[in-house]
Amino acid sequence: MRERLPHAYLFHGPEHGGKLTIATTLAQSFFCPDAKQNDIRSVCGICASCRAIAEMRHPNVIVLDTEHTLVSKKETRKEIPIEDIRELKRIFSFAPVAGEWRLAIINEADKMNEEAASAFLKLLEEPGANTLFILIAAHKDLLLPTIVSRVSPLGFLTVSDATLERVLDAKHIAQNARKDIQVLAAGRPGILLQLCEPSNARATDDKKISQNIQNIVRARDMVSALRISEQSSQDKDIREKIIHWLAGMLRADLKNEIPGAAALAAAKLTRIDHIAHLIDSTNVNPRLAMDVMFLECM
């Protein structure tokens, strides 16, 4: 029964790993007339409620992140400010219509600033009836420990290549293009779907850049690697893409049948993940961190 649900979930794991998709589908299951309780697979996805939730315009489902705002007016935001959390608290202070649920999806929850996180903690402590919060974060340890202690965590992992292959089959992607796509996706279905779109110019550019990086790493061209490291250290979006691409290369090496090769790739992948976490959660110098990451892959 829905009344037995926790009042808050935390979906955490790699970016573009399906967390927001699952959160949206879960929200749709509360309002879709075809949905069966406790089975998000029964959501139709095409009714008025499902479409409204997918388009983030349903009155009972609020989505909040650095792009989707409630009251703050900044065109570009790097964090979720306290103004939006206060507005969320104000909206949820009103009693819901009898029997109806209200959901708040806090995407990029690890980007709440300190004031916003403290305000959200108070909201968690007094959730109200028929209220569900879904927090989404790449790194749960960037959240306040007191917030983490009040939610039910659900970890997301990268998706297996076998699962991604089924998506590529459904998209009718040519066999000769699949290896590069899987390396770029690095087990993240959200990226995979973007790369499957032939009209996605950004995806085309990413493929070219990724191939260049693969060539540099395979050739052990440290001079070129350090040049890319310097450039990417100043641009968070590019830096994150390079980290995912390097991880994708190592994931591919996990299939290497040469004795010891898979174990070596797994060890490197663990160290890459640790360095990426340090970049996100500490004041480590991004340039030096990226230098070390390239060295690990060579």
pLDDT digits (tens, 9 = 90+) for 144-160: 999 999 999 999 988 88
Mean confidence (pLDDT) of the chain: 86
Instruction: Give the pLDDT confidence score for residue 240 in this predicted structure.
Output: 83
Long-range contacts from 140-146, C-beta under 8 angstroms, 24+ separation: 140/10, 140/12, 140/110, 141/281, 142/110, 142/280, 142/281, 143/10, 143/109, 143/110, 143/112, 143/117, 144/117, 144/118, 146/121
Same domain flag for 148 and 168: no
Where does a domain end: 155, 179, 207?
155
Expressed as residue numbers, the domain containing 16 is 2-155
pLDDT of residue 192 exceeding 60: yes
* Model confidence at 4: pLDDT above 80: no
Q: In the structure, what pLDDT confidence band is assigned to residue 201 with cuts at 50, 70 and 90?
A: low
Residue 271 and residue 138 in one domain: no
> From residue 222, how far is each of 219, 226, 228, 296 by CA, in Å?
9, 6, 10, 11
Q: Residues 32-42: pLDDT tens digits?
A: 998 887 678 88
Strand order in the sheet with 131-137: 61-64, 102-106, 131-137, 8-12, 152-155
Determine the pLDDT at residue 165: 87
Look at residue 278 and tell me whether its pLDDT is greater than 80. yes
Pairing type for strands 131-137 and 102-106 reads: parallel
Residue 261 has pLDDT above 80, yes or no: yes
Same-domain check for residues 42 and 115: yes
182 and 129 inside one domain? no
- Residue where a domain terminates, one of 122, 155, 188: 155
For the chain, what is the total number of helices (H) and then of strands (E)?
Answer: 13, 5
122 and 174 in a single domain? The answer is no
Instruction: Verify that 114 and 166 share a domain, yes or no.
Output: no
Residues 146 and 202 in one domain: no
The model's confidence at residue 75, banded by pLDDT at 50, 70 and 90, is low
Residues 17 and 137 in one domain: yes
User: With pLDDT > 70 as the criterion, what percentage of the chain qualifies?
Assistant: 95
Q: Taking residues 265-270, what's their average pLDDT?
A: 88
User: Rounded to an integer, what is the distance from CA 275 to the centroid of its chain?
Assistant: 18
**Residue 203 clears pLDDT 70, i.e. is over it:** no
* Domain count across the chain: 2
- pLDDT exceeds cutoff 70 at 198: no
What CATH number is given to the structural domain containing 78?
3.40.50.300
Cβ count near 182 (within 10 Å): 19
154 vs 2, residue with greater confidence: 154
Residues 86 and 182 in one domain: no
> Is 71 in the same domain as 182?
no
Q: Is the pLDDT of residue 69 over 90?
A: no
Are residues 140 and 193 located together in one domain of the fold?
Answer: no
State residue 3's pLDDT score. 57
Mean pLDDT of 62-90: 86
Question: Has residue 177 got a pLDDT over 70?
Answer: yes
Q: Residue 2's pLDDT band (boundaries 50, 70, 90)?
A: low
Please give the pLDDT value at position 76: 64
